[in-house]
Each structure stands twice: as structure tokens, then as C-alpha cells.
Amino acid sequence: MKLRKELEWFVKKMEKTLSLNDHKSSYTLEDNEYLKSKLVEEVGELLQAINKDWSKAIIREAVDVANVAMMIAANESGKEF
């Protein structure tokens, strides 16, 4: 499957952010309540960046939202990655 250019760009940003946080404990050790609160926090940060029209922060926070959403989905999948 060929990824769309914008998706490939975004996924690379997601991976970069995840790799910068490899020193932290794995999200697979977190329960959904913690991840849900983290998602709400990240969405709030994204909305703040949007409201202030901070382009770089908007991208960074959108990536953070996507990463937390991925963590929740991965945990729910029941798969070992």
C-alpha cells in the first residue's frame, strides 16, 4: 500500500516524537483512564495552539494527539507490537 504524501509526512512526525520519548515507560503499561486523561490534555493544548494561531505548535500538538490516540487503539487491539 502506498501512503498519501500528507500521511507519510505526518507519520514521520509521529515516529520522531515517539522516538524522542523512548526513555519513558511503555504506553502498554498504562491503563485507558490515564491515556484518556492524556488525550484530553493534548487536545486542550492543540486547541490552545489553534486559537493562538501558532503553526509549529499546532503541528506538534496534532502529532501528540495522534500518538495518544494510537496508543489507546493499540492497547485496545490486544496485539503485541
34, part of any domain? yes
Between CA 67 and CA 39 the distance in angstroms is: 9
Residue 13 lies in a domain: yes
Confirm whether 1 is domain-assigned. no
pLDDT value of position 78: 84
User: Grid coordinates standing for 33?
Assistant: 483512564
Is there a domain that residue 56 lies in? Answer: yes
Dump pLDDT digits (tens) for 22-70: 999 888 888 899 999 999 999 999 999 999 999 999 999 999 999 999 9
How far is the C-alpha of 46 from the C-alpha of 50, rounded, in Å? 6
Does 40 map to a domain? Answer: yes
Number of domains in the chain: 1
C-alpha cell at 57: 505548535
Would residue 3 count as lying in a domain? no
Q: Is residue 2 part of a domain?
A: no
The CA distance from 81 to 73, in Å, is 12
pLDDT band at residue 3 under the 50/70/90 scheme? very high
**51 domain-assigned:** yes
Structural domain of 39: 8-19+27-77
